[in-house]
A and B are shown apart, each in its own frame.
Chain A
Amino acid sequence: NAGVMQNPRHLVRRRGQEARLRCSPMKGHSHVYWYRQLPEEGLKFMVYLQKENIIDESGMPKERFSAEFPKEGPSILRIQQVVRGDSAAYFCASSPYSAGRNTGELFFGEGSRLTVL
């Protein structure tokens, strides 16, 4: 059973370009979370998605950032017109949680490290 797969592991973009980060959850998981981690800082929640639905995007900047989790394929975190402050590690996590049954565990991928020049 493969774990949470994220790609690319490393991404370099120039200011103004677009960054697309992909996440395939663990098999059987239909809940995906995206977190951002800056050096020497903790995990900052960005967005929580279920298949085809954004459940909670309260942690995601309203401009330039978007996320989706289509019926088929991986979840994608998209950052448009990147700026240097977007440089960070972006982690995806999946959960087997379903309504009425909370297993309480998140399974993290190894992250995508974005560097904006």
Chain B
Amino acid sequence: QQQVKQSPQSLIVQKGGISIINCAYENTAFDYFPWYQQFPGKGPALLIAIRPDVSEKKEGRFTISFNKSAKQFSLHIMDSQPGDSATYFCAASKGNQFYFGTGTSLTVIP
């Protein structure tokens, strides 16, 4: 059973546009929702994270929106740049259990 469902699988955005990636989770016990960014040939790196007591968190051009009642959260990348082209993974965790989405391949066209 997929604990975290992520969409879309791939995304193409023009430079300067907004990239939006969505995730949904099942287990209401999850208490930490990170997003990881992975460049080709590299390991995933933490990008931004949120806890369920907050509905939104912003760090620079990256924003997480969190809807606890709908059990959904999303990553918004404002003013998308070609350097943002990477694979993005959402995740949900409780204690030492981490569950990852299947990833979204983002391509930002110059």
Residue ranges of A at the interface with B (Cβ–Cβ < 8 Å): 4, 31, 33, 35, 41-43, 45, 48, 55-56, 91, 93, 95, 97, 102, 104-111
Contact = CB atoms under 8 A, between A and B. Distances in A.
Given A102-B31, A106-B98, A109-B43, 20 more contacts: A4-B43, A41-B102, A41-B103, A42-B89, A43-B103, A45-B99, A45-B100, A93-B43, A95-B96, A97-B96, A102-B95, A102-B96, A104-B32, A104-B51, A105-B49, A106-B46, A107-B46, A108-B44, A108-B45, A111-B42
Contacts of B96: 31, 48, 55-56, 95, 97, 102
A105 B34 contact: yes
Interface of B: 6, 31-32, 34, 36, 41-46, 49, 51, 89, 93-103
A41 B19 CA distance: 20
Main secondary structure of the interface of A (DSSP, over half): strand
Contacts of B99: 45
A111 B43 contact: yes
A52 to B, nearest CB: 16
- 7 nearest interchain CB pairs? A104-B32, A108-B43, A42-B102, A43-B100, A42-B103, A110-B43, A108-B44
Given A42-B101, A105-B34, A110-B42, A97 B89 contact: no
Nearest to A4: B43
Contacts of B95: 97, 102
A90 to B, nearest CB: 11
25 contacts: A4-B43, A35-B100, A41-B102, A42-B6, A42-B102, A42-B103, A43-B44, A43-B89, A43-B100, A55-B96, A56-B97, A91-B43, A95-B96, A97-B96, A102-B32, A102-B94, A104-B51, A104-B93, A105-B46, A106-B46, A106-B98, A108-B36, A108-B45, A109-B43, A111-B42
A109 B38 CA distance: 11
Nearest to A97: B96
Interface centre among B49, B97, B98, B99 (most CB of A within 10 A): B98
